[in-house]
């Protein structure tokens, strides 16, 4: 009882601080959603924090008519493709380097680490020339290839540290039972790596979804524009229509929330490291 009594003040302080931080985070989201459900006139005259007056979804129709649906679909295609490519290639490369240590795998790891040291902004001109020579300029394929390649080094580094923590005895036991490398990868490495895969998927998905520089340089047509470019265009078209801009921002955030909610448990397990249950 005395121990519980000593812990109560600390628990109360933690609860107060956590609640305060939650309010700080939710306040701008609440303001953004509420403002997006108003017309420009109501936004300028009504109380911005109280849901007074009629609420409408007309601003969402406005931004969809302006092409937001195309930008949203393009971003979903690019992000999903990059996540699949990055996760598959990075996990396979990490497993190969752990399974067979050699000079070639060591050299490959050094090349990846060198990729981490070179920022994408420093090689944007050679990338543009390369994509143009490959006749991929102004296509979604160019964005998928470049963004996936830029995400692989850090993804391999994260997965390599995780796979190295898997007990070697598990790999040897499956090999003794006659399993080849593909079966070890599919039946053991892949299921045990789900937490780190979710972590990498969320991390890479956020970077791809919010990337502005590469779509700006490698695309031109509105038909292949992604959401960051679309929001930039909306700011120019609807600069004085704040509810329309906020409606576009709300729609751009929803897929990220779905990705996080769907993978949050695996991500938390991945942060904690490898463990056998």
pLDDT band at 269 (very low <50, low <70, confident <90, very high): low
Q: Write a three-state SS string for 23-85.
A: HHHHHHHHHHHHHHCCCHHHHHHCCCCCCCCCCCCHHHHHHHHHHHHHHHHHHHHHHHHHHHH
Q: Is residue 250 a contact partner of residue 32, using CB atoms and an 8 Å limit?
A: yes
pLDDT at 131: 94
Of the two residues 110 and 6, the one the predictor is more confident about is 110
pLDDT at 67 over 90: no
What are the structure tokens assigned to 271, written together? 């942060």
Q: Is residue 50 a contact partner of residue 67, using CB atoms and an 8 Å limit?
A: no
Q: Which residues contact 37 (CB under 8 A, 6 or more apart)?
A: 55, 56, 57, 59, 243
pLDDT at 274: 53
| pLDDT 10s digits, 158-202 | 898 888 888 888 878 888 877 788 888 888 888 888 888 988 999
Mean pLDDT for all residues in the chain: 85
The whole-number average pLDDT for the span 144-168 is 89
Q: Is residue 148 a contact partner of residue 140, using CB atoms and an 8 Å limit?
A: no
pLDDT at 71: 93
pLDDT at 5: 45
| pLDDT 10s digits, 202-257 | 999 999 999 999 999 999 998 999 999 888 888 777 667 888 888 988 988 888 88
pLDDT at 276: 47
pLDDT at 110 over 60: yes
pLDDT at 259 over 50: yes
pLDDT band at 24 (very low <50, low <70, confident <90, very high): very high
pLDDT at 51: 83
The whole-number average pLDDT for the span 76-101 is 90
pLDDT at 271: 59
Q: Is residue 274 a contact partner of residue 162, using CB atoms and an 8 Å limit?
A: yes
pLDDT band at 77 (very low <50, low <70, confident <90, very high): very high
The whole-number average pLDDT for the span 120-148 is 93
């Amino acid at each position: 009882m005395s121990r519980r009594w000593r812990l109560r003040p600390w628990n109360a302080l933690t609860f107060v601080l956590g609640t305060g931080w939650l309010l700080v985070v939710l306040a701008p989201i609440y303001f953004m959603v509420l403002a997006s459900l108003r017309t420009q006139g109501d936004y300028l005259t009504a109380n911005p924090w109280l849901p007074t007056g009629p609420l409408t979804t007309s601003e969402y129709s406005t931004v969809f008519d302006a092409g937001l649906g195309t930008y949203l679909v393009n971003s979903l295609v690019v992000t999903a493709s990059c996540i699949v490519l990055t996760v598959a290639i990075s996990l396979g490369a990490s497993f190969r380097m752990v399974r067979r240590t050699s000079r070639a795998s060591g050299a490959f790891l050094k090349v990846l680490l060198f990729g981490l040291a070179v920022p994408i902004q420093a090689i944007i001109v050679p990338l543009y020339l390369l994509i143009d020579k490959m006749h991929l300029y102004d296509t979604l394929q160019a964005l998928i290839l470049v963004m996936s390649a830029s995400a692989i080094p850090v993804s391999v580094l994260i997965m390599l540290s995780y796979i190295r923590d898997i007990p070697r005895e598990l790999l040897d036991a499956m090999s003794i039972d006659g399993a080849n490398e593909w079966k070890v990868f599919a039946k053991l490495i892949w299921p045990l790596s789900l937490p780190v895969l979710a972590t990498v998927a969320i991390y890479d998905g956020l970077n791809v979804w919010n990337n502005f520089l590469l779509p700006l340089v490698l695309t031109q047509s509105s038909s292949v524009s992604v959401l960051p470019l679309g929001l930039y265009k909306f700011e120019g078209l609807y600069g004085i229509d704040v509810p329309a801009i906020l409606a576009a921002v709300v729609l751009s955030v929803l897929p990220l929330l779905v990705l996080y909610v769907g993978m949050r448990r695996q991500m938390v397990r991945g942060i904690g490291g490898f463990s056998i249950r």
